[in-house]
């Protein structure tokens, strides 16, 4: 009898506690979905290859709409920059069809994005494009550290407030503050006219400035960082103390108190992990790769105790793969006419190639793919020497008729073309730097030719996505030269691999002479470090070295050049080679298989 009474009292007490908890506690579920580095992947279609793809904003929209119908959560869609460049669909509306609303602005408004941050490749499109685009969006485009040099105020909106509803309490809202920041490395990569009137300030200092302002003025329940910058603050020989660090996102999470979630981008890597700030609080860091193949999601659960007047937070990150998600039918139908228009644009023939060119070969020496770019650059500028790198290692243009779409395979980015003045000594230093980044120092025939990423045990690291060997450095920094004859001896140590024999016509190459050099604007503004670290030219002197610059992007002039030629005969100029040959031949086959699989294709 006593046991029964005790059991009854316990059950009653549990029920009473549950009832009181329900009275005094309130639960709110918030889901914030991030896209980043979409690079114009609007449709599930590759306009370059004329084939369907498995990544697009149309698939993002399917996922987002599914989450929005869940009445038990508030859903927000955010973008983290680099969306305006990288695909024919946005190129067409950036530079060809400019008398209407930009297709991407129309798409993002349709998808009901809540807020976005500007990326460096958005700035690269130029003032006429990104200023117009910003005004066409139905949501704010953020970048607190992009300061207007005339007003000393942010050129873009610094932060934005989102509101999440609380079930059964219409008078109260959860306040979510979103601070936007852009990587400050832009002046090192882009010509000044593209970002005139804007100063890109240090991310950490800007966050330290704006977070107190947001907290005092807005008193948010949640603070979100939407930063178009990566997490590796050591990239490019930087460190935690480097002013205007290109990838300061994690440093801000650790050093600036108050952030609950920091969304990142720019580096095209997948991130989902937590760090501790200086008082021991956890900050979730999330970032998707590129081209809308995945989104990252912050699942935030808030529980409010009315009795204690406190919110408790539980935050969990997730990465959603979109490959198996079908494109939204309404989306596709709504933007069908624009799809057809872009497809017709890229399908316009511009000339003929007498043979196939493949970027893969350019990793292992002289190639007709890269030499074609060199040839066009030299003819456009009448320079003595040309520098360029493959901007994609999987691009291929088949022999036969060549179309507008093929230009996006030949040259991925909207760089301008510079003519700069360099001495022979600076050209040599530039090349030494490039090949030190690119090629291994081989001691035996068994060594690799390429520099691969390796783990702590010295084993080559393979990509989880493609199961292929990962290069230690970015291939778009592997510059070769045309206009001169030279050899690269991989048995020699770094700094002593390159020997310039002569100019291409056999005349003497003089280390003290000044030469005209054709080079893209990214490299000409210091991108990759070839001119500053390799050639030893101070960053602030680079602008003075520019003799001429094209008004439009290099791809535009490439199209015009091919149209004027009608028939193009791509060929390897064979102006440079890698030695010792017996070392290189064996390593080429081995490394090609590590990178691409079938070596027969290379031969």
Alpha-carbon torsion (62, 65, 69, 72), positive or negative: positive
State which of 316, 342, 368 marks the end of a domain. 342
Residues 337 and 352 in one domain: no
CA-nearest of 54, 158, 130, 41 to 88 is: 41
State which of 342, 370, 386 marks the end of a domain. 342
Whether residue 17 lies inside any domain: the answer is no
Residue 547 has pLDDT above 80, yes or no: yes
Q: Given this model, what pLDDT does residue 411 score?
A: 94
Residue 13 has pLDDT above 60, yes or no: no
Query: Do 359 and 367 meet the contact criterion of CB atoms below 8 Å apart?
Result: yes
Share of the chain above pLDDT 90, in %: 88
Residue 3 has pLDDT above 80, yes or no: no
**Cβ neighbours of residue 28 closer than 8 Å, sequence gap 6 or more:** 74, 164, 165, 166, 167, 174, 301, 302, 303, 304
Q: Could you tell me the CA-to-CA distances from 536 to 248, 284, 431 in Å, in that order?
A: 26, 40, 12
Q: Is 268 helix (H, G, I), strand (E, B) or coil?
A: coil
Please give the structure tokens belonging to residue 165.
């509803």
Query: Do 220 and 175 meet the contact criterion of CB atoms below 8 Å apart?
Result: yes
- The model's confidence at residue 20, banded by pLDDT at 50, 70 and 90, is very low
Q: Given this model, what pLDDT does residue 164 score?
A: 95
Q: Is 58 helix (H, G, I), strand (E, B) or coil?
A: helix
pLDDT digit string, tens, across residues 271-292: 999 999 999 999 999 999 999 9
**Distance in angstroms (rounded) separating the CA atoms of residues 267 and 81:** 11
Share of the chain above pLDDT 70, in %: 94
Q: Is 103 helix (H, G, I), strand (E, B) or coil?
A: helix
- The model's confidence at residue 21, banded by pLDDT at 50, 70 and 90, is very low
**Distance in angstroms (rounded) separating the CA atoms of residues 151 and 138:** 24
**Distance in angstroms (rounded) separating the CA atoms of residues 145 and 484:** 43
Residues 491 and 553 in one domain: yes
CA-nearest of 561, 131, 135, 235 to 380 is: 561
Residue 602 has pLDDT above 60, yes or no: no
Q: Given this model, what pLDDT does residue 25 score?
A: 58
**Is the preceding omega at residue 600 within 30 degrees of 0, hence cis?**
no
**Distance in angstroms (rounded) separating the CA atoms of residues 408 and 387:** 19
DSSP string, 428-475: HHHHHHHHHHHB---SSTTS-SB-B-B-TTSPBPB-TTT-SBPBSS-G
Residues 398 and 329 in one domain: no
> Judging by beta carbons within 10 Å of its beta carbon (0-12, 13-18, 19+), is residue 236 exposed, middle or buried?
middle
- The model's confidence at residue 172, banded by pLDDT at 50, 70 and 90, is confident
List strand residue ranges (DSSP E) for 551-600, in order: 567-568, 576-579
Residues 337 and 483 in one domain: no
pLDDT digit string, tens, across residues 242-272: 999 999 999 999 999 999 999 999 999 999 9
Residues 306 and 363 in one domain: no
- The model's confidence at residue 24, banded by pLDDT at 50, 70 and 90, is very low
State the CB neighbour count (10 A cutoff) for residue 158.
Answer: 23
Predicted TM-score (pTM) of the model is 0.88
Residue 158 has pLDDT above 70, yes or no: yes
Strands 271-276 and 222-228: unpaired
Residue 8 has pLDDT above 90, yes or no: no
List strand residue ranges (DSSP E) for 461-539, in order: 480-482, 484-489, 498-503, 514-520
CATH of the domain at 62: 3.60.21.10
Residue 162 has pLDDT above 90, yes or no: yes
Residues 333 and 365 in one domain: no
DSSP 8-state assignment for residue 277: -
Query: Do 523 and 531 meet the contact criterion of CB atoms below 8 Å apart?
Result: yes
**Is the preceding omega at residue 580 within 30 degrees of 0, hence cis?**
yes
**Distance in angstroms (rounded) separating the CA atoms of residues 479 and 498:** 13
Find the helix or strand (DSSP H, E) in which 420 lies: strand 417-423
CB burial string 262-273: b at 16+ within 10 A, e below:
bbbbbbeebbbe
CATH of the domain at 564: 3.90.780.10
CA-nearest of 413, 259, 278, 405 to 346 is: 405
Residue 167 has pLDDT above 90, yes or no: no
Q: Given this model, what pLDDT does residue 309 score?
A: 76
Residue 317 has pLDDT above 70, yes or no: yes
Query: Do 201 and 136 meet the contact criterion of CB atoms below 8 Å apart?
Result: no
Whether residue 412 lies inside any domain: the answer is yes
Q: What phi and psi, each to the nearest 5 degrees, are found at residue 120?
A: -65, -35
Please give the structure tokens belonging to residue 163.
């509101």
Whether residue 506 lies inside any domain: the answer is yes
Q: Which domain holds residue 555?
A: 348-596
Residues 331 and 451 in one domain: no
DSSP string, 231-258: S-TTTTT--TT-TT-TT-HHHHHHHSTT
Q: Could you tell me the CA-to-CA distances from 301 to 5, 79, 441 in Å, in that order?
A: 38, 22, 53
Place of tokens 């942010």: 154
Whether residue 15 lies inside any domain: the answer is no
> Judging by beta carbons within 10 Å of its beta carbon (0-12, 13-18, 19+), is residue 438 exposed, middle or buried?
buried
CA-nearest of 86, 110, 457, 553 to 291 is: 86
- The model's confidence at residue 6, banded by pLDDT at 50, 70 and 90, is low
DSSP 8-state assignment for residue 154: B
For 233-328, where are the alpha helices, taking DSSP H only? 249-255
Query: Do 24 and 307 meet the contact criterion of CB atoms below 8 Å apart?
Result: yes
Q: Given this model, what pLDDT does residue 16 score?
A: 46
**Distance in angstroms (rounded) separating the CA atoms of residues 157 and 238:** 28
Q: Given this model, what pLDDT does residue 23 score?
A: 45
Residues 332 and 401 in one domain: no
Whether residue 603 lies inside any domain: the answer is no
Residues 270 and 363 in one domain: no
Q: Given this model, what pLDDT does residue 22 score?
A: 46
DSSP string, 59-87: HHHHHHHHHHT-TTSEEEEEE-S--SSSS
Which residues make beta-bridge pairs with 300? 30, 315
Residues 303 and 249 in one domain: yes
Query: Do 588 and 364 meet the contact criterion of CB atoms below 8 Å apart?
Result: yes
Total structural domains within the chain: 2
Mean pLDDT on 407-419: 93
Residues 160 and 130 in one domain: yes
- Look at the chain and count its residues: 603
Whether residue 3 lies inside any domain: the answer is no
State which of 294, 309, 342 marks the end of a domain. 342
Whether residue 330 lies inside any domain: the answer is yes
Whether residue 5 lies inside any domain: the answer is no
Please give the structure tokens belonging to residue 350.
């511009």
- Gyration radius of the chain's alpha carbons: 27
Residues 328 and 362 in one domain: no
What's the mean per-residue pLDDT of the chain?
Answer: 93
Q: Given this model, what pLDDT does residue 603 score?
A: 47
- The model's confidence at residue 9, banded by pLDDT at 50, 70 and 90, is low
**Distance in angstroms (rounded) separating the CA atoms of residues 190 and 520:** 10
């Amino acid at each position: 009898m006593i046991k029964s009474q005790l059991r009854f009292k316990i059950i009653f007490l549990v029920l009473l506690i549950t009832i009181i908890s329900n009275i005094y506690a309130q639960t709110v579920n918030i889901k914030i979905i991030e896209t980043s580095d979409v690079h114009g992947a609007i449709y599930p279609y590759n306009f370059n290859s004329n084939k369907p793809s498995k990544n697009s904003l149309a698939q993002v929209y399917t996922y987002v709409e599914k989450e929005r119908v869940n009445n038990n959560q508030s859903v927000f869609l955010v973008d983290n920059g680099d969306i305006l460049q990288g695909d024919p669909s946005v190129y067409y509306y950036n530079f060809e069809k400019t008398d209407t609303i930009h297709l991407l602005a129309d798409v993002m408004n349709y998808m009901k994005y809540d807020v976005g941050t500007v990326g460096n490749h958005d700035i690269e499109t130029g003032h006429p494009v990104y200023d117009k685009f910003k005004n066409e969006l139905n949501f704010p485009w953020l970048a607190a550290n992009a300061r207007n040099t005339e007003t000393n105020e942010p050129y873009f909106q610094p932060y934005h407030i989102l509101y999440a509803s609380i079930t059964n309490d219409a008078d109260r809202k959860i306040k979510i503050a979103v601070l936007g920041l852009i990587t400050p490395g832009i002046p090192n990569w882009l010509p000044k006219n593209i970002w005139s009137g804007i100063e890109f300030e240090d991310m950490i200092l800007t966050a330290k400035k704006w977070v107190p302002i947001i907290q005092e003025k807005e008193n948010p329940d949640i603070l979100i960082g939407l930063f178009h910058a990566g997490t590796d603050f050591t990239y490019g020989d930087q460190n935690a103390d480097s002013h205007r660090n290109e990838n300061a996102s994690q440093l801000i999470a650790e050093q600036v108190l108050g952030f609950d979630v920091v969304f990142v981008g720019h580096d095209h890597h997948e991130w989902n992990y937590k760090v501790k700030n200086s008082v021991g609080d956890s900050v979730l860091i999330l970032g998707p790769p590129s081209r809308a193949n995945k989104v990252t999601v912050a699942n935030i659960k808030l529980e409010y105790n009315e009795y204690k007047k406190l919110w408790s937070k539980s935050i969990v990150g997730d990465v959603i793969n979109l490959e198996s998600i079908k494109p939204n039918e309404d989306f596709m139908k709504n933007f069908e006419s624009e799809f057809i228009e872009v497809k017709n644009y890229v399908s316009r023939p511009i000339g003929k190639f007498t043979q196939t060119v493949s970027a893969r070969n350019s990793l292992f020496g002289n190639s007709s793919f890269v030499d074609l770019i060199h040839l066009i650059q030299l003819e456009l500028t009448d320079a003595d020497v040309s520098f360029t790198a493959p901007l994609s290692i999987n691009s291929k243009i088949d022999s036969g008729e060549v179309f507008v779409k093929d230009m996006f395979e030949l040259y991925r980015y909207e760089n301008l073309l510079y003519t700069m003045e360099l001495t022979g000594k600076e050209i040599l230093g530039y090349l030494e730097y490039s090949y030190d980044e690119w090629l291994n120092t081989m001691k035996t025939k068994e060594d690799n030719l390429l520099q691969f990423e390796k783990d702590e045990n010295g084993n080559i690291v393979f990509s989880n996505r493609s199961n292929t060997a990962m290069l230690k450095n970015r291939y778009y920094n592997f510059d070769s030269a045309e206009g001169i004859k030279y050899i690269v001896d991989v048995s020699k140590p770094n700094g002593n691999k390159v020997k310039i024999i002569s100019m291409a016509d056999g005349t003497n190459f003089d280390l003290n002479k000044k030469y005209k050099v054709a080079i893209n604007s990214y490299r000409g503004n210091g991108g990759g470090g070839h001119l500053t670290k390799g050639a030893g030219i101070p960053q602030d002197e680079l602008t003075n070295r520019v003799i001429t610059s094209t008004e439009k992007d290099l791809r535009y002039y490439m199209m015009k050049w091919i149209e004027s030629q009608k028939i193009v005969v791509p060929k390897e100029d064979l102006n440079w080679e890698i030695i010792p040959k017996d070392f290189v031949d064996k390593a080429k086959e081995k490394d090609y298989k590590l990178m691409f699989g079938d070596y027969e294709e290379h031969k």
